[in-house]
Structure 1
Amino acid sequence: MNMAFEDPNADTEWNDILRKKGILPPKETTNEEEEEEASVLQQQSVVKTYEDMTLEELEENEDDFSEEDERAIELYRQQRMAQWQASQIKNKFGEVVEISGQDYVQEVTKAGKDLWVILHLYKQGIPLCTLINQHLAALARKFKDIKFLKAISTTCIPNYPDKNLPTIFAYLDGEIRAQFIGPLVFGGMNLTQDELEWKLAEAGALKTELEENPRKQIQDQLMSSIRTTISSKRDSDSDDD
């Protein structure tokens, strides 16, 4: 009885299974397949090369690429440029800028579409204003896509009463979307950076990673401490009896 063996290089589903199990040897590649594989590897090498390059390096090395590579690189360059521009827009701020009343229209009203602007009206010599300026400086470094401003109150609003300080206005598209006026709103000198961040997040001005109001955490700790103290006092009174 003659047994017919399949060509181990044949493209059959059965042979593919046998190759995976190691029963048949790997398929021999033809010269044409080898050239195609080499071409793919070369293209991948080029892609990896120019993906690792900066925009300036791409321009310096553009003579080393083929016409086909240049088309791919041009698309990649456009993508990198768009990413860079988006990054510049997102990270265009990063600090609290001092303005005066003369700057208000340009810096706030005409600040730009879909841009949040946080303006702190303050006066020197008011401790809470100083504290908030410190917190805002840290938040400006953290949220670089938001425009943080500060201004001495009377330079923006003549005769603005000191009792209303500190004051924070949150603007979007040049319109006030939230306002925080007076020391009581901020909770006095106990105000933390996280609490101020939470207030601005509630106004929609920024996206915080805080999961709950930091003030609530402090209140919960305080209430827990009070309950513990009361319980201890009751136990002590019971022992005395």
Structure 2
Amino acid sequence: MQDPNADTEWNDILRKKGILPPKEQGKDAEENDEQILPQQSIVKTYEDMTLEELEENEDNFNEEDERAIEMYRQQRLAQWQATQLKNKFGEVLEISGQDYVQEVTKAGKDLWVVLHLYKQGIPLCALINQHFTGLARKFQDVKFVKAISTTCIPNYPDRNLPSVFVYFDGDIRAQFIGPLVFGGMNLTKDELEWKLSESGAIKTELEENPRKQIEDQLMSKVRCSALGKEDSDSEDD
């Protein structure tokens, strides 16, 4: 009896007529398919490639691919540049009066600069410098700068400290001068963040002024205390 799996001309005729089933794939063929599949799975499309990989593989693309890839390359480049700009700073820069023009008023186009004039030995100045460190890390697209007051402005009065100035494109957009503006040593980082957001320098995720929440709580306590006193007076009468 003839082997139906044998590779003969007669069996090929019978397979074409449907009398014999199709020839089973041999083990070698299956192994070849298994080797091909992993190779196909590691092939990258240009959307998955980095800018460097696009450069390396540009000879393998046709003309239509190249047009699409060039548009994609420009998009990736713009995203990269935006990321670099956003993460440009992240620390508070200490400057002197000689650096003021270069680092503040000529710092760059479309750039927010927040300057703190301070003096050693003033507790509120030290607190704001501490808050500046946290805000600089959080808003890395904003340039946070600090300087000892008299190095930038000779004879700048201590009663005006701390002083915070907000600049955009070299022009002053807001100023906060003196301890009363900041609410004294109770100033929190969130309150300072809110103040700077009102000037436009930063885009805060805070939903409302933290100072207002504190004031509302204080007023609530005052009202409760007043009501309690009125009730006590009524009982005495």
Instruction: Give the TM bin, normalised by the shorter chain.
Output: 0.7 to 0.9
Match of 1:185, as an amino acid? V
Kindly state the Cα deviation for residue 234 of structure 1 after the two structures are TM-superposed: 4.3
Residue 199, structure 1, aligned to residue 195, structure 2 = yes
- Residue correspondences, number: 197
Aligned residue in 2 for 1:51? 47
Kindly state the Cα deviation for residue 47 of structure 1 after the two structures are TM-superposed: 11
2:99 and 2:150 map into 1 onto residues whose CA distance is: 13
* Seq. identity, %: 82
Aligned residue in 2 for 1:129? 125
Under a length normalisation based on structure 2, what TM-score does the superposition of the two structures give? 0.74
Question: Residues 25-49 of structure 1, C-alpha deviation per residue, up to 9 Å, x if partnerless?
Answer: xxxxxxxxxxxxxxxxxxxx99972
CA 1:47/1:160 → structure 2, altered by over 3 Å: closer, same or farther? Answer: farther
Match of 1:230, as an amino acid? A
1:49 and 1:228 map into 2 onto residues whose CA distance is: 68
Match of 1:76, as an amino acid? Y
Under a length normalisation based on structure 1, what TM-score does the superposition of the two structures give? 0.73
Kindly state the Cα deviation for residue 60 of structure 1 after the two structures are TM-superposed: 3.0
Match of 1:93, as an amino acid? F
2:52 and 2:99 map into 1 onto residues whose CA distance is: 37
Kindly state the Cα deviation for residue 135 of structure 1 after the two structures are TM-superposed: 1.0
Aligned residue in 1 for 2:165? 169
Match of 1:139, as an amino acid? L
SS in 2 for 1:104: helix
Question: Residues 42-75 of structure 1, C-alpha deviation per residue, up to 9 Å, x if partnerless?
Answer: xxx9997222222122223334434432332122
Residue 156, structure 1, aligned to residue 152, structure 2 = yes
Question: Residues 81-118 of structure 1, C-alpha deviation per residue, up to 9 Å, x if partnerless?
Answer: 11211222233122211111111111112112222111
Aligned residue in 1 for 2:85? 89
2:56 and 2:230 map into 1 onto residues whose CA distance is: 80
Q: Tell me which of 178, 185, 190 is aligned to 2:186.
A: 190
CA 1:76/1:231 → structure 2, altered by over 3 Å: closer, same or farther? Answer: same
How do 1:1-241 residues align onto structure 2 when only pairs under 5 Å count? 49-235=45-231
CA 1:47/1:166 → structure 2, altered by over 3 Å: closer, same or farther? Answer: farther
Judge which range, 188-197 or 206-215, deviates more. Answer: 206-215
Judge which range, 75-84 or 196-205, deviates more. Answer: 196-205
SS in 1 for 2:78: helix
Question: Residues 176-228 of structure 1, C-alpha deviation per residue, up to 9 Å, x if partnerless?
Answer: 22111111111110001111111112222222222222111101011112222
1:175 and 1:134 map into 2 onto residues whose CA distance is: 25
Unpaired runs of 5+ residues, structure 1, are 1-44
> Which structure has the bigger radius of gyration?
2
CA 1:165/1:46 → structure 2, altered by over 3 Å: closer, same or farther? Answer: same
Match of 2:180, as an amino acid? L
Match of 1:96, as an amino acid? V
Match of 2:96, as an amino acid? S
1:158 and 1:129 map into 2 onto residues whose CA distance is: 18
Match of 1:202, as an amino acid? E
Unpaired runs of 5+ residues, structure 2, are 1-40
Match of 1:129, as an amino acid? C
